[in-house]
C-alpha cells in the first residue's frame, strides 16, 4: 500500500541484478546505512530474471561469471559446464541475496518512475509506479545496460493473430513444441534462441537483418578436478582478470595478425575456433583484430570460410555470410550456422526482402510472400546503456532532466557519476568498461561505496563531478574508441541499433586494468574531478 508520508532513507538502490544486489550489501551490511533496493521485476536477478528464453546462456566462462568478493562463496559454489545457463545464474544470485539476508530490503514489482534532486535539502525525492514517495541522500542506479528492450515498430502488429515475445521479457511456461515460429534478430540472443528451438519447433523462419560472424561457444562439461583446480587458483585468477583488458580470463594477445605467416595465422584461428568463445577469438588470437583492417579481414575471412564449409545450400550460405567488419560484440554459438541445414529452418534476409507488415497469419515481405507463423520472437536487443535512464524522469540541479543533459549522447565521469546530478551514482553507466561485466560491476560498486563512506565520515552534503572532468572522460573514451574499428560497425555498443538514437561512444574501451587504476588514482588524489560540498565546515 502507498506510504502516507515519504519514507526517509540514506540511500535508494534501483535494480536488483548483479549490480544492485552487491550495492545493497555494501551500503547496508558494511556501511550500516538505511537502504532499500527497488526492482520493477517480480524477482531478483536482473538480466537473469528477465531473459528466460530457450538457450539463454552466459558467454563468459562459468568460473568468471560471478562475484569475486566472497572467497567462501567462491569455494562452495560449483559448476558443471564451461558456461552457466540462465537458471543457474538466477539460482546463484538468489543464493547471494539470501546469504546476505538482503531480501527484506528489496522491494520488488516496484518501478522507480522519477527522481528529483532537492537542492534545499540535498536529498533525492523518488517516486514509484506504486504511488510511493521516498527521500534519500543517495541514489545508486543499477538499471542494467542491456535491459530496456528494443521492440521494432512493424505495421499491422495489432492484426497479428499469434503470440509475440521479446527475449528480454520472456514469460514463464511458453511451449513452442511443433509450432511455426519466426525469430527476428540475429545477435547474441537470436543465435542462442534459433539454435535451441530449431529441433523442437515445427517450422522456424529466421528474419535476418544483418548476417553475423560467430564462432563456436565450445560448451562442454567440466570435471570436478578442473573445478577444484580453479578454486585453488582463484586468488591468482582474479588478480589477472582485474588487471586485464576484457576480463574474460585469458591474456590478450599482443601479436599483430599480419606479423605471422598465413599458415600460422590459420592455425591460430583454427585452435581458437576449436576451443570456443567469442572474446577469445577476437582478443586472444591476435592483438589487433579489433584495431587493424587487415587483421580484421583475416579473422572475418576465416569465419566466412567456415560458413561456406558448414552450410550446405549455397543461397542460404550466401545470405548468412557477412561482408562488413568484424567489429561488434563478438558472438559465439552452439551450432548456429549448421542449424540452417535443417529441413524445418528457413532464412529470410530482410535487407533483400524487407518486412512490409504483420498480418493475421504472419509476416508479409516485399516479395509478396506471407510467412505464416504462430509465434513471433523479437530477439531485437536493447536500448543499451542509457535506455532505462531516459525512460525515467530524473532531474538534477536546476531541474535539468537527464534527457537534456544527455541530448548529445549519454556521458559520465568514470562511468559512475554525471555532472549536475549530485549524490547520484551509476553502476555500468555510460562510458564504463567494456568487459566481462561482474568484475567491472565489483570495481564500480566498491568504488562508489568507498566514496559514500568517505563522504559520510566527512560531513559532505553532496558529491558530483565537474563538467570539465566529465568532458575530459568523454574525450578519453572517444579517443580510445577511435583507435579501434568498433565505431565503424553499427551495433548497440555505439547506440546505432535504435532508430533515431544518436551514435556516440558509450564505453571505455581501455580495459579493466587501466580503468581500475584510474578509479584508484582519482580517489587517492582526493576525488580529483569532483566537487564535494561540505555540510558544515569541518574543524
Ligand atoms: P541488470 O541485470 O540488467 O539489472 C537491472 C535491473 O534494474 C533489472 O532487473 C530492471 O528490472 C531494473 N530496473 C531498471 N530500471 C528500473 C526502474 N526504473 N525501476 C525499477 N527497476 C528498474 N554480461 C557478461 O559479462 N557476460 C555474459 O555472458 C553476458 N550475457 C548476457 C546475456 C544476455 C541475454 C543479456 C541480456 C545480457 C548479458 N550480459 C552478459 C550483460 C548482463 O546484463 C550483465 O552481465 C549483468 O547481468 C548486469 O547486471 P546489472 O545489475 O548491472 O543489470
Ligand atoms: P543485439 O546484439 O542488439 O542484436 C539484435 C538483433 O536484432 C540484431 O541482429 C539486429 O540487427 C536485429 N534487429 C534490431 N532491430 C531490428 C528491427 N527493427 N528489425 C529487424 N531486426 C532488428 O541484441 P542481443 O539481445 O542479441 O544481444 C545484446 C547483448 O546482450 C549481447 O551482446 C550480449 O551481451 C547479451 P542488426 O545487426 O542491428 O542489423
- Least Cα distance to 323 among 211, 452, 238 occurs for 211
pLDDT (0 to 100) of residue 520: 98
**Beta strand 393-395 pairing with 180-184:** unpaired
pLDDT (0 to 100) of residue 5: 62
Helix, coil or strand: residue 342: coil
Q: Is the pLDDT of residue 95 over 60?
A: yes
Q: Is the pLDDT of residue 538 over 50?
A: no
Counting atoms of ligand 1 from 1, which one is nearest the CA of 428? 52
Calpha distance 30→24 (Å, rounded): 9
Burial class (CB in 10 A: 0-12, 13-18, 19+), 380: buried
Q: What is the pTM of this model?
A: 0.97
Contact call for residues 28 and 20 (beta carbons, < 8 A): no
Taking residue 130's Cβ as centre, other Cβ atoms within 10 Å add up to 15
Q: Report the percent of the chain where pLDDT is more than 90.
A: 97
- Least Cα distance to 347 among 209, 212, 208, 152 occurs for 208
Q: Is the pLDDT of residue 263 over 70?
A: yes
Averaged pLDDT, 277-303:
98
Q: Which residues line ligand 1 (CB under 6 A)?
A: 14-20, 38-41, 46-47, 49, 51, 56, 58-60, 65, 111-112, 142-144, 146-147, 168, 189, 388, 392, 427-428, 436-437, 441
The tens digit of pLDDT for each residue in 474-507 reads 999 999 999 999 999 999 999 999 999 999 999 9
Centre of ligand 2 from the C-alpha of residue 143, in Å: 19
Give the residue, by CA position, lying nearest to ligand 1 atom 44: 437
pLDDT (0 to 100) of residue 534: 82
Q: What is the mean pLDDT of the chain?
A: 96
Helix, coil or strand: residue 464: strand
Pocket test for ligand 1, best of 56, 124, 147 (most atoms within 8 A of CB): 147
Gyration radius of the chain's alpha carbons: 24
pLDDT (0 to 100) of residue 2: 46
- Least Cα distance to 516 among 414, 437, 423 occurs for 414
Counting atoms of ligand 1 from 1, which one is nearest the CA of 167? 34
CA angle 530, 531, 537 (to 5 degrees): 135
- Least Cα distance to 440 among 48, 18, 58, 71 occurs for 18
pLDDT (0 to 100) of residue 329: 96
Helix (H) or strand (E) holding 8: strand 7-14
Q: Is the pLDDT of residue 455 over 50?
A: yes
Helix (H) or strand (E) holding 358: strand 355-358
Counting atoms of ligand 2 from 1, which one is nearest the CA of 329? 32
The tens digit of pLDDT for each residue in 136-157 reads 999 999 999 999 999 999 999 9
Averaged pLDDT, 280-286:
98
Averaged pLDDT, 412-433:
98
Averaged pLDDT, 65-82:
98
CA 487 to chain centre: 18
Calpha distance 72→265 (Å, rounded): 42
**What phi, psi does 312 have (nearest 5°)?**
-75, -45
pLDDT (0 to 100) of residue 445: 98
Calpha distance 65→83 (Å, rounded): 9
Q: Which residues line ligand 2 (CB under 6 A)?
A: 146, 150, 152, 167, 184-190, 209-210, 329, 379-381, 492, 497
- Least Cα distance to 187 among 468, 324, 471, 380 occurs for 380
pLDDT (0 to 100) of residue 458: 87
Amino acid at each position: 500500500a502507498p506510504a502516507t508520508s515519504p519514507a526517509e532513507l540514506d540511500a535508494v538502490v534501483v535494480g536488483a541484478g548483479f549490480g544492485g544486489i552487491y550495492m545493497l550489501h555494501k551500503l547496508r551490511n558494511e556501511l550500516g546505512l538505511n537502504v532499500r533496493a527497488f526492482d520493477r521485476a517480480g524477482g531478483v536477478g536482473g538480466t537473469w530474471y528477465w531473459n528466460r528464453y530457450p538457450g539463454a546462456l552466459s558467454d563468459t566462462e562459468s568460473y568468471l561469471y560471478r562475484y569475486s568478493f566472497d572467497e567462501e562463496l567462491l569455494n562452495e559454489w560449483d559448476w558443471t559446464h564451461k558456461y552457466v545457463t540462465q537458471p543457474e545464474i538466477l539460482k546463484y544470485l538468489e543464493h547471494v541475496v539470501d546469504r546476505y539476508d538482503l531480501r527484506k530490503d528489496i522491494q520488488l514489482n516496484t518501478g522507480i518512475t522519477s527522481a528529483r534532486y532537492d537542492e534545499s535539502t540535498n536529498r533525492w525525492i523518488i517516486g514509484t509506479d506504486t504511488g510511493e514517495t521516498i527521500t534519500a541522500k543517495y541514489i545508486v542506479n543499477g538499471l542494467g545496460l542491456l535491459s530496456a528492450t528494443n521492440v521494432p515498430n512493424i505495421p499491422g502488429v495489432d492484426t497479428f493473430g499469434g503470440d509475440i515475445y521479446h527475449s528480454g521479457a520472456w514469460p514463464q511456461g511458453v511451449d513452442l513444441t511443433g509450432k511455426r515460429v519466426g525469430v527476428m534478430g540475429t545477435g547474441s540472443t537470436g543465435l542462442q534462441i534459433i539454435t535451441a528451438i530449431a529441433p523442437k519447433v515445427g517450422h522456424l523462419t529466421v528474419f535476418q537483418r544483418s548476417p553475423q560472424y560467430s564462432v563456436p561457444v565450445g560448451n562442454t562439461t567440466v570435471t570436478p578436478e578442473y573445478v577444484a583446480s580453479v578454486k585453488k587458483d582463484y586468488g591468482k585468477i582474479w588478480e589477472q582478470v582485474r588487471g586485464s583488458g576484457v576480463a574474460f580470463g585469458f591474456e590478450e594477445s599482443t601479436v599483430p595478425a599480419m606479423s605471422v605467416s598465413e599458415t600460422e595465422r590459420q592455425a591460430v584461428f583454427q585452435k581458437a575456433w576449436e576451443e570456443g568463445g567469442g572474446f577469445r577469438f577476437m582478443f586472444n588470437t591476435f592483438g589487433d583484430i579489433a584495431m587493424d583492417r587487415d587483421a580484421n579481414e583475416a579473422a572475418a575471412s576465416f569465419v566466412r570460410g567456415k560458413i561456406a564449409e558448414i552450410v550446405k545450400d549455397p543461397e542460404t550460405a550466401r545470405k548468412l555470410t557477412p561482408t562488413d567488419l568484424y567489429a561488434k560484440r563478438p558472438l559465439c554459438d552452439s551450432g548456429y550456422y549448421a542449424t540452417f541445414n535443417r529441413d524445418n529452418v528457413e532464412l529470410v534476409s530482410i535487407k533483400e526482402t524487407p518486412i512490409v507488415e504483420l498480418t493475421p497469419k504472419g509476416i508479409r515481405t516485399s516479395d509478396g510472400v506471407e510467412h505464416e507463423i504462430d509465434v513471433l520472437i523479437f530477439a531485437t536487443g536493447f536500448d543499451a546503456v542509457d535506455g532505462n535512464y531516459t525512460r525515467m524522469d530524473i532531474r538534477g540541479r536546476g531541474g535539468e532532466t537527464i534527457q537534456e543533459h544527455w541530448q548529445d549522447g549519454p556521458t559520465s565521469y568514470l562511468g559512475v557519476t554525471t555532472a549536475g546530478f549530485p549524490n547520484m551514482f551509476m553502476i555500468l553507466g555510460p562510458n564504463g568498461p567494456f568487459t566481462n561485466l561482474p568484475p567491472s560491476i565489483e570495481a564500480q560498486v566498491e568504488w562508489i561505496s568507498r566514496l559514500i563512506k568517505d563522504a559520510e565520515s566527512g560531513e559532505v552534503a553532496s558529491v558530483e563531478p565537474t563538467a570539465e572532468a566529465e568532458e575530459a572522460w568523454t574525450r578519453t573514451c572517444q579517443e580510445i574508441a577511435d583507435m579501434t574499428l568498433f565505431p565503424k560497425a553499427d551495433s548497440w555498443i555505439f547506440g546505432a541499433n535504435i532508430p533515431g538514437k544518436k551514435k556516440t561512444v558509450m564505453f571505455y574501451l581501455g580495459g579493466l586494468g587501466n580503468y581500475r587504476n584510474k578509479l584508484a588514482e582519482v580517489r587517492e588524489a582526493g576525488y580529483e574531478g569532483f566537487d564535494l560540498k561540505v555540510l558544515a565546515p569541518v574543524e
